[in-house]
């Protein structure tokens, strides 16, 4: 065969293959590029939603109340869908249309989480019997108003009831439910030796009280009075000394010996609070926190059945052992409470590892159910099978250490495949949870630094205070004329350019490793951590 003929045959065979391969490669590149773009847009929308929740809670005097919190979460949901529509160029679509591609949103909070997803509003017999709009006549019910649909239920989108990070444990001596949190706070309810038990508190091993000297990790905890500016009727006053009582700041005017709170920019006197007690306990919240933790630790240790509770005692709501989830470990859940080598609050303790496993199991299980229910409830997109993706370990670490949000966007055609994406965003600037990294150090020169700023030395901490990071966020109030005025709780305070603005010069290692090199910083930090956690409406305080 002549070489010309072979060349022609080669072109006839290879050229189409090359063209097909080039087209496939181009399509794949375009698909991957589009997927990366969608991932970025979904991350931005999720960030917008969690940021909206942060801003609403910071500027709300009632953010710790359930109804107010649900209002803020619903606002975050609306922000998410608005942002998705904007980022994806779908501004012509309303939330109802976008919901077809979002099987669930999850808001992980301090001791549980909300899932936003479709649910069935069921008209069951019990509800019918209890409704005043029904009149029973023989075996039939006459309804004076809107009739339920033929299936007896309707599909709605909304926040499902709050789900706690809880697990049930049962052995021959006890049957209890333990609710965990993002830190070492637990609630224990159930039966121990057939006797009811209801205990709650922070589990700390490293706290000690020796003849009135309270220490944590061998660093002294101090009484420290806190002061800040206050907006009243649009005027910025102060600074006033304050204490948090059940999560709400109460201020003290030494001139009149008056205790008051500020609600919606108005001064509200609190005569029910004993002024003398308030004055005597000024600045003692941190000491009270560690003393309460010591008492709770001793309480748990005094109940042998509870002290000896094991990971292998975990069961589900049907009584089936959860050994396939948590393993068949005989490790004691509270074993480190009586250990001289490890603290129960340490990241690698048995308690902490089990706590994280319970949080993960609860979210994965209920989220899988929510997405499965979405598949059953979806209409126009019913040909798409929505699935629960497998979150990576570093993404779970975000949810273990801060409040966060998980969003899902699935079912969009991006050319070579169907887009199934998710985003996990956490937030450490909020008043829902006091994380270990939720603090700045305000030095005497009016500059606030990150805790691990390399410039913080013993000689720079004279007159310094460690303050919650949200207290440096801008606040807003309304003047008597209705104008909006912005202000700061700490006037003339500026963020350190190195550690806060540029985020450089940050020492490596955990916060505990960093602060123990500087005894003054350690005392300030652990005092602030105890003060803020004590006043988060979880401990029965002296008031």
Q: pLDDT tens for residues 500-517?
A: 999 899 999 999 999 999
In which domain, by residue range, is 446 found? 225-282+434-534
What is the chain's mean pLDDT, rounded? 84
DSSP string, 27-94: HHHHHHHHHHHHHHHHHHHHHHHHHHHHHHHHT-TTTTSHHHHHHHHHHHHHHHHHHHHHHTT-TTS-
Are 503 and 194 in contact by the 8 Å Cβ rule? The answer is no
The owner of tokens 């439910």 is 177
Q: Which residue has the higher pLDDT, 543 or 498?
A: 498
Q: Of 40, 309, 312, which Cα lies nearest the Cα of 178? A: 309
pTM of the model: 0.84
Residue 29 has pLDDT above 50, yes or no: yes
Share of the chain above pLDDT 70, in %: 81
When pLDDT is averaged across residues 218-241 and rounded to a whole number, the result is 90
Q: In this structure, is residue 499 part of a structural domain? A: yes
Q: Of 112, 49, 32, which Cα lies nearest the Cα of 406? A: 49
Q: How many angstroms separate the CA atoms of 261 and 267, rounded?
A: 6
Are 524 and 458 in contact by the 8 Å Cβ rule? The answer is no
**Number of domains making up the chain:** 1
Are 425 and 405 in contact by the 8 Å Cβ rule? The answer is yes
Q: In this structure, is residue 52 part of a structural domain? A: no
- Beta strand 105-108 with 403-413 is antiparallel
Structure tokens at 87: 């980022």
The region of weakest confidence among 29-38, 322-331, 397-406, 422-431 is 29-38
Residue 67 has pLDDT above 80, yes or no: no
Q: Which residue has the higher pLDDT, 70 or 379?
A: 70
Q: In this structure, is residue 492 part of a structural domain? A: yes
Share of the chain above pLDDT 90, in %: 47
Sorting pLDDT into bands at 50, 70 and 90, what band is 21? low
Q: In this structure, is residue 483 part of a structural domain? A: yes
Residue 139 has pLDDT above 50, yes or no: no
pLDDT given for residue 419 in this prediction: 83
Q: In this structure, is residue 444 part of a structural domain? A: yes
When pLDDT is averaged across residues 47-73 and rounded to a whole number, the result is 76
The region of weakest confidence among 77-91, 119-133, 278-292 is 119-133
When pLDDT is averaged across residues 523-534 and rounded to a whole number, the result is 94
């Amino acid at each position: 065969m002549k070489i010309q003929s072979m060349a022609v045959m080669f072109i006839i065979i290879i050229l189409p293959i090359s063209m097909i391969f080039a087209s496939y490669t181009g399509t794949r590149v375009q698909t991957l590029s589009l997927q990366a773009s969608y991932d970025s847009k979904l991350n931005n929308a999720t960030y917008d939603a969690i940021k909206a929740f942060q801003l609403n809670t910071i500027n709300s005097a009632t953010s710790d109340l359930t109804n107010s919190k649900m209002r803020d979460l619903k606002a975050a949901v609306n922000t998410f869908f608005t942002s998705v529509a904007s980022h994806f160029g779908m501004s012509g679509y309303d939330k109802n249309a976008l919901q077809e591609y979002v099987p669930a949103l999850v808001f992980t909070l301090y001791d549980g989480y909300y899932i936003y997803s479709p649910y069935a509003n069921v008209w069951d017999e019990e509800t019918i019997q209890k409704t005043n709009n029904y009149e029973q006549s023989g075996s039939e019910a006459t309804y004076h108003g809107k009739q339920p649909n033929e299936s007896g239920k309707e599909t709605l989108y909304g926040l499902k009831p709050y789900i706690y990070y809880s697990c049930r444990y049962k052995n021959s001596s006890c049957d209890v439910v333990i609710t965990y949190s993002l830190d070492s706070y637990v609630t224990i309810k159930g039966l121990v030796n057939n006797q009811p038990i209801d205990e709650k508190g922070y589990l700390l091993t490293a706290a000690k009280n020796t003849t009135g000297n309270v220490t944590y990790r061998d660093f002294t905890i101090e009484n420290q009075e806190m002061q800040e500016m206050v907006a009243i009727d649009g005027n910025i006053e102060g600074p006033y000394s304050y204490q948090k009582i059940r999560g709400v700041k109460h201020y003290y005017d030494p001139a009149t010996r008056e205790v008051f709170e500020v609600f919606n920019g108005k001064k509200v006197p609190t005569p029910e609070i004993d002024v003398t007690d308030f004055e005597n306990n000024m600045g003692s919240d941190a000491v009270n926190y560690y003393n309460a933790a010591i008492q709770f630790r001793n309480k748990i240790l005094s109940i042998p059945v509870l002290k000896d509770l094991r990971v292998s005692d975990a069961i589900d709501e049907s009584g089936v052992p959860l050994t396939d989830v948590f393993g068949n470990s005989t490790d004691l859940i509270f074993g480190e409470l009586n250990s001289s080598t490890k603290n129960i609050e340490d990241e690698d303790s048995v308690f902490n590892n089990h706590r994280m496993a319970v949080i993960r199991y609860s979210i994965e299980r209920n989220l899988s159910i929510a997405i499965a229910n979405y598949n059953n409830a979806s209409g126009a997109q019913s040909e798409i099978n929505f699935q629960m993706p497998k979150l990576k370990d570093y993404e779970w670490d975000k949810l273990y250490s801060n409040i966060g949000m998980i969003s899902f966007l699935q079912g969009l055609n991006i050319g070579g495949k169907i887009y199934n994406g998710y985003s996990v965003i956490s937030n450490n600037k909020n008043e829902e949870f006091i994380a270990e990294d939720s603090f700045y150090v305000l030095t005497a020169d009016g500059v606030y630094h990150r805790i691990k700023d390399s410039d913080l030395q013993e000689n720079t901490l004279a007159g310094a205070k460690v303050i919650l990071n949200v207290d440096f966020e801008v606040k807003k109030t309304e003047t008597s004329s209705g104008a909006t005025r912005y202000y700061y709780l700490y006037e003339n305070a500026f963020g350190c350019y190195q550690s806060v603005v540029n985020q450089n010069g940050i020492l490596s290692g955990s916060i505990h490793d960093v602060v123990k090199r500087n005894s003054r910083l350690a005392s300030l930090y652990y005092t602030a951590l105890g003060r803020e956690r004590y006043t988060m409406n979880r401990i029965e305080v002296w008031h």
